[in-house]
Structure 1
Amino acid sequence: MSPITLAAAALPAVAWVVHIMWMVRRLHTARRDPLTGLWTREGFTRRARRLLRDKRAVVVLADVDRFKQVNDTHGHAAGDALLAAVAGHLAHSVGRDGVVGRLGGDEFAAVLVDRDHTAPERLATLARVLARPVDGAPEVHTTVSLGWVRRSDHPGEDLSALLGRADEAMYAAKRTPRGLRRARIGRLLASVAGRRSGRRGAA
């Protein structure tokens, strides 16, 4: 078979490989939130479940306080800048070994593996950083409430249940000056907040 014939025969295979690579890239992009660059719910859930195989995993839920007021007072551009800043700080705090997702609106979730047992200190630092004015929108003054839970405290629970516990802790954090609360080890309360978070996490 001549080189020309071989090249002609190989063209369909090359085109198919290029097409598959394009589809994979499109799928990857579709699972990213266009504003923050974080994973959307589906992409986050897939990666979070893998991380939860590690007993040292920590689940975090974050919610921007008074976000509607920020949009109404300062405009959507300021609100977008705030969301992008929160996403950046969360991603930096979690690091490359964890995962952060935007569940929708002003709600974010993360899973990190606490290898050096510093999660409480890291999250306390994160809460302080998130309370600072946003670069590019210094007039925006708000806080971000964080709730978190250790997987090892609830070894039989899945991502949905752990998000429910982090959700309850987050809403409790809204009533504290620090804006940070760890989930209790006891029974998961059947609160509206907890049920809502549980549905979001069960992708």
Structure 2
Amino acid sequence: MNPDVRLPGRFSRHTLLIATAAAVPLTGWAAHALTLHKRLAATRKDPLTGLLRRDAYTAHARRLLARHGDKMTVLMVDADHVDRTTDG
């Protein structure tokens, strides 16, 4: 870049260099935070059915009960080993 080039406005080359140097790590951190958020959200749901896992469902049910109290009933069905048949 030609050192004699003047940039329009009140910003100097030094100011733009500092702004660029600050923007690169911030972009990386934002991308990392987005990836981490997606991974954490994926741990709350079953990959096969898309339904909430037990811990996430329990936390959601507790929030609903705390908010609505006696006006609400929560039913939790444990569906482990549904595909197995019993002999006998």
Q: Is TM more than 0.5 here?
A: yes
Deviations 1:70-110 (A, max 9, x none): xxxxxxxxxxxxxxxxxxxxxxxxxxxxxxxxxxxxxxxxx
Asked if 1:67 corresponds to 2:83, the answer is yes
Work out whether 1:9 is the aligned partner of 2:22.
Answer: yes
Question: 2:11 is matched with which residue?
Answer: none
The structure with the largest strand share of the pair is 1
CA distance in 2, matches of 1:23, 1:62: 30
Q: Classify 1:63/1:44 alpha carbon distance in 2 versus 1 (closer, same or farther; 3 Å).
A: closer
TM-score by length of 2: 0.65
Q: Name the SS of the counterpart of 2:75 in structure 1.
A: strand
Query: What residue number does 1:40 align with?
Result: 53
Query: Where has structure 1 moved over 6 Å in runs of 4 or more?
Result: none
| Partners of 1:2 and 1:47 in 2: CA distance | 48
How much is the aligned-residue C-alpha RMSD, in angstroms?
2.2
Pair 1:63–1:27, CA change in 2 (3 A): closer
CA–CA distance in 1 between the matches of 2:34 and 2:21?
A: 21
Q: Distance in 1 between matches of 2:55 and 2:76?
A: 16
Unmatched segments (≥5 aa) in structure 2: 1-13
**Cα-to-partner distance string for 1:1-54 (whole Å, 9 max, x where unaligned):** 332331122211221121111101100001110111011111112111100111
Looking at structure 2, the residues matched to 12 and 63 of structure 1 have their Cα atoms a distance apart, in angstroms, of: 45
Aligned length: 69
The aligned counterpart of 1:101 is: none
- Of structures 1 and 2, the one scoring higher in RCO (CA 8 A, sep 6+) is 1
Following superposition, the deviation at residue 58 of structure 1 comes to: 1.2
Residues of 1 paired with 2:78 and 2:20: CA distance?
56
Structure 2 counterpart of 1:10, one-letter code: A
Unaligned runs of 5+ in 1: 70-203
Q: Does 1:51 align with 2:50?
A: no
- Between the aligned partners of 1:16 and 1:61, the Cα distance in structure 2 is 38
Identity %: 35
Distance 1:12 1:60, change over 3 A: same
Quick one: distance in 2 between partners of 1:63 and 1:14? 42
Q: Which amino acid aligns with 2:83?
A: F
